[in-house]
Structure 1
Amino acid sequence: MGTWDDTGAAGIAGFLSSNAHDIYPSIDPSKVQLPKPYVVCIVGASRGIGAGIAHAYAHAGASGLVLASRRVSGLEQVAAECTKINPKVRIEIVACDITSDSSVQALASKTKSTFGRLDVCVVNSGYTGPIEAKVTETPAGDFINASNVNYVGTFLTAKYFIPLLLATEGGAKALIAVGTLAAFMVKGMIANPHYNVSKAAQLRLMETIHEEYSSEGLAAYTIHPGGVLTEMVKAAVPEAVHAYCLDSTELAGGFCVWLSKDQSHEWLSGRFASANWDADELDAKKDVVLKKNLLRFTVDV
């Protein structure tokens, strides 16, 4: 991963020998035909990675998409792009503040009243803030915002969408959080006490959700979307890191579809996976991962 990364995240990034940067045949959503009906809600869909995820499910033949974000204007553009990909998809645009209990609850209610079901919920909303600050130099507002968006927002989405996912008979029942390798970084150029720690809390929350609901059929995945030069990254990450952001906005979308198109990858529920990893190589590691309980937070003693 380069000198900007610390050894923990570098080890995770190198878990497999592959390093994909864009869609490849095994995760190409245009080669997938999702069952009908199949409804997906994407929170944080107005641009970048969220838009790429919406495109992927449109390519895969989703019958319904709920696109949510604070930026409705961006959602309109993504909706138009998805309709161009798949003219048959029904799309609902909903303004939602992921840090607001009432706003997320209203989004879940709108999803239920419009479609009557939900197969996949993707939590993509994220807040970074300036990346280089130490604890004593971090503005309190940045720490609070990162916690509210990255951690509390994931909790609120899970709270109100898990019941809808579980109630969907024959549904995929997949909750996907877009996390980051930064959750494992405590030193280095892009380590900071607000983004990284809040993303670590998000990952731990998803592990907890898996333990609480997997027996009811829920799959809770946390994925690293790859290194994507999004608007947020451009604004917050040191320019020296930009050269490492080589991945397409569509990579994470293809990986999400691969995870949720059927039940064959539910063994990854409660674990962390990177969209950069080759899907076939990852599947081949299944027995090793389960036997050693890998890809989860642990404390060595």
Structure 2
Amino acid sequence: MTTLYYEKDADLRNLRQRQITVIGYGNLGRSVALNLRDSGYDLIVGNREDDFARLARNDGFIVTPITQAAQGADTIFLMIPDETMPQVYLEHIAPNLRTGDMLIFASGYNVAFGYIEPPNHVDAGLIAPRTLGIGVRDGYLNGLGYPCYVSVAQDGSGRAWEYLLALAAAIGALRQGAIEVSFNQEVEIDLFIHQAVLSAIHSTLLAAADVLIREGYPPEVALTELYLSGELGMLFSRAGITGLTHALHMLSPAGQYGIMSRTERFQEVKIQRQLESILDNIRQGNFAQEWVSESADGYPRLKALQRRFQSSALWRFEREVLDMLRGLPPDA
């Protein structure tokens, strides 16, 4: 049975005397830091000197080098990209860990795939929002919260869950109920959604646009109908509230019939096998190894893929349609 944790399960008194630092002030790190402060907790931001550090200072935080931040804290939120985290951890965090310290990850990636191995005398927890950084902030401010996963990979203090739930409550992560998962489950399903579901949606949209434009439909009409109108996004947003089946009721009867009567055409065995292959590749750690090599080489394939997408006719049409919808003249 899956376990859910709510605000009633957390005791914020467990955070008394805890010295908190947020390492990294990007989209998620900023939201976490602001939410913690608004809940009444002082913290230090650890960040290299860049635009994010300047933003943190403008937001009223004390910003120090990462090593200094780690030295003065016993509760460390690691809010930096997965690919850069192992080096930062080894150089700045690990040498300063003391018995009873707690590491909070927003992704299970590095622990699950073995790139970070916390020592036995510290706690390692996961608070993984299922929304973007801005959603973490908005969910806190509007009181509605946001979907979230939580986990403890290592309980060095014997009180890791007490501290974790208090921290999750302090950033608004328990208002909707946080689901307990393992570090492996969190990262595997996250990568699967990107590589199997979102890639399939993206590929289908590209193929559909190509078919419509080749068949003589104006690019402006094709792209607006496919996704630029925002209707598709609204449908999925509604699905997040009522469920996918009920969200279909937003459509006309003809639209509902068209979707449900044609769904079986895409339920082919080869698609199922492709999805299983993608998941297996993730579980075996093959993608993680591929990403390590890609990042170590300076992201050559990622940059090539980005250039290819940006040089496509679809990207040009997309820019033109967006400008048109915003009332901008061509080449504005």
Higher relative helix content:
2
Greater relative contact order (CA < 8 Å, ≥ 6 in sequence): 1
> What range is the shorter-chain TM-score in?
0.3 to 0.5
The TM-score with structure 1 as length reference comes to: 0.41
Tell me the TM-score normalised to structure 2 length.
0.38
